Each structure stands twice: as C-alpha cells, then as structure tokens.
Copies of this chain bind each other. A is one copy, B any other.
C-alpha cells in the first residue's frame, strides 16, 4: 500500500464566499497543491461561515465561530493545521496573528501586517521568539523575473543604485459616477479599505504603497530610511489619503519617489518600478509580470522574460511554463506560498509540495518569501508617510516612528 508524503494542512480566518483576497489565497495554494484547507473561521456571519466551509469541504467540526476557539482547538489536535491564513481587514490582523502564534501555529497573513508600528514589531518579535514561520503576502516579489532583477542588482549588473521611481496608481476610488473598476466597488473589501477604522491610518500608502515599498526593498536591496510625503484625500467623502507623492532616501544613498493613487482614472493596477543604477537600469510593470526591461550603460534596451535560459537559476526555479505563456496574480501568490510552504514543511516534517512536478527542489526556494521583519518595516513606512504629511512633508525617519 502507498504511503503518501504528508501534505500540509491549513486553516483560514476570513475569506467567506464573495471575499476577494481570501479566494486568491485559496486558489494560489491549490494551484500547486501545496496544502489542503481543513479548518476555518470564514465569517462572523454564522450562515456564511457554514456555507463557505461546505463549499471548501471543511469538516463542520473544524468550522469555528471565532478565531480564538479555532486557534485553541487546532493547537490541541494531532492533525491540527500546520499554518493559519489570515485574510481579514487590516485592523484585525494583529490580534488574530498574535493568537495563532501564541498557540504555536505558523501564520500567513495578508498585508499590511498591522495598523500600528508597535503591533507589527510585537508580531515580528513573537514569531522570532517562538521560532515560527510567517509569510506576509507581498506577491509581486514572487515573479521569476522580479527575482532575476533582484539578483542582477545584487550581483552589480547595474552598479550602485541612484534613483528609483516606484508607482502604484489605481482608479477604482475615483469618486464620481461609474468607472473602470466599478465592477468591484460594491464588494466589502473595497469599502473597508476606505475606512480608517478597518484600514488603518492611510488609504493609498497603506493599501498599495506598502506593496511598492516592499518591492523596492526586495529588488534593490536598499531600505527606505526617511520620507517626505504629500498625502491627499481627494473627493468629498475621503476620510484617508487616496493619493500620495513621496520622496524618500534609501540606504546606500539613492533617491526614491513613490506615487500611489486610488483616484488615478485610467489605471487598473499599475504597479511599476524603475531603478536607475550607475551602469544600467531596469523597469518592471506588474500588469505584464513576466517581463523586465534592462538597459546596460552604452547598450540597447532589452526585454527579458521569465523562462529564458539566461535567467539566474534561483529566479528560473519559480517559473512553471515557457516564455510567452503568461503567469499572473495567482502564480505570484503561489510562488511566495511555495517558498513559505517549503519552510513550514522543513519545520514540521512534511514533504509533499507540488507533486514534485514542474517545480524545483524545495531547498532552492525555501527562504525566499516576504518575512514578518520586512512586513514590520512596511508598517513603519506607512506611519512615517502619514507623520511626514501631517508635518507638511518634513523628513521623517522610519526608525523614529
């Protein structure tokens, strides 16, 4: 008789049917067969909680009414979950994550990690202290060609970084009439992102600026040290910023500009990063995430693609299909989950990732995912921007918020 390798099991907090990001997490995990969902506390609405559990075939005794009882019960089971996936509104991340960590359960949490710096630091401390793995889902760093860009810069292919232009404009919040993302405006995940009580102190910086900051740090290897930020809440009903123009100093001496916007009519989800080095430059656009533009000093501008033989092997390891066969949002998520799952498996003694199929050895990918320390740094970035803007764009250091 077969003895299958044990497959990781997870539970989800949030992500009731109709939720946007919880569904993305579930599908990304399923795509590579990384783990099975076996428990959940999907909604505070009991009916929705039950229906979601049924849809995903979660045993009804593992569909919990609240996250506290879930954490306690799962921690007691021999076959308890290996990790919890937290996909609730930002404001609740801290207490949910903390609870699971305190019960010794690894955690994957949607970004941003928390709404205050103290909360974020506490979670980072707690995970380190208990030796627990934490993934915070900044999926853009999961794309193979983004990993190649990081390797290029780390190995000096563009020389010292001088100027970074990072932008993340979206148009869904342009506050009048119908607009191009209106299809999603009646969903709760958009409503709570406009409300400081659930979203935290910043709208555009907190929701998407943090993606840009994480990407800049990952690709360039430079940290944001201080910011001079102009945040604006356009429209009569805006309670928190929906547009930000931020100058920043990076470690190593580069200048960086961030533009984040949720009122940028005509923009879908237009995360873009451009890095100017002393002997080369790169550009990456999140809506064509398989491609990277690279210009060496004195040479022509080139389009690099995931899947080509000249990619750094570590980057190569994260692709599934040949060049020109697009991989997108789900695959980006799947890639960071893949590395996280490899890390968790290594810790808990499972070994079943991905059917072994088109994926590389787990060792090759294990450590390359957004950790809690980076995510805590991103929370500092949010708060530094908010603080700077309040003080009329005065420079604020991230270490001092």
Contacts and interface: CB of A to CB of B under 8 A. Distances in A.
A156 interface: no
B269 A322 contact: yes
Contacts of A163: 232, 243, 245, 259, 261, 263-264
A252 interface: no
A267 to B, nearest CB: 8
A268 B323 contact: yes
Interface in A243-295: 243, 245, 247, 255-257, 259, 261, 263-270, 276-281, 283, 286-289, 293-295
A23 interface: yes
Contacts of A263: 162-163, 276, 278
Contacts of A300: 180, 294, 302-305, 308, 310
A65 interface: no
A197 interface: no
Contacts of A30: 30-31, 33
Given A177-B297, A178-B309, A264-B276, A324 B270 contact: yes
B281 A266 contact: yes
Contact of A395 (B172, B309, B320, B393): B393
A8 to B, nearest CB: 13
A301 interface: yes
Contacts of A296: 265
Contact of A184 (B26, B56, B256, B322): B322
A254 to B, nearest CB: 9
B2 A59 contact: yes
Interface of A is mostly: loop
A178 B241 CA distance: 44
Query: Which size bracket describes the interface of A in this complex?
Result: 35 or more
Contacts of A298: 177-180, 182, 309
A54 interface: yes
Contacts of A172: 322
Given A255-B230, A300-B180, A327-B328, A60 B265 contact: no
A308 B183 contact: yes
A232 B307 CA distance: 27
B321 A20 contact: yes
Interface stretch (A70-78, A130-138, A351-359, A371-379): A351-359
A356 to B, nearest CB: 5
A392 interface: yes
Contacts of A393: 228, 247, 393, 395
A180 B295 contact: yes
A176 B287 contact: no
A304 B301 CA distance: 7
A92 interface: no
Contacts of A1: 60
A285 B209 CA distance: 25
Given A30-B31, A247-B228, A330-B31, A279 B265 contact: yes
Nearest to A22: B357
Contacts of A234: 162, 278
A82 interface: no
Contact of A330 (B255, B261, B331): B331
Interface string A326-358: 111111000000000000000000000001111
Q: Which 4 A-B pairs have the closest CB atoms?
A: A268-B324, A269-B324, A266-B295, A326-B328
30 contacts: A2-B57, A5-B54, A18-B358, A23-B358, A27-B31, A27-B32, A55-B355, A158-B265, A163-B264, A175-B278, A177-B298, A178-B309, A180-B323, A182-B298, A183-B308, A183-B323, A184-B322, A243-B255, A245-B255, A247-B247, A257-B257, A263-B276, A265-B295, A265-B297, A288-B288, A288-B326, A294-B300, A300-B302, A326-B326, A393-B395
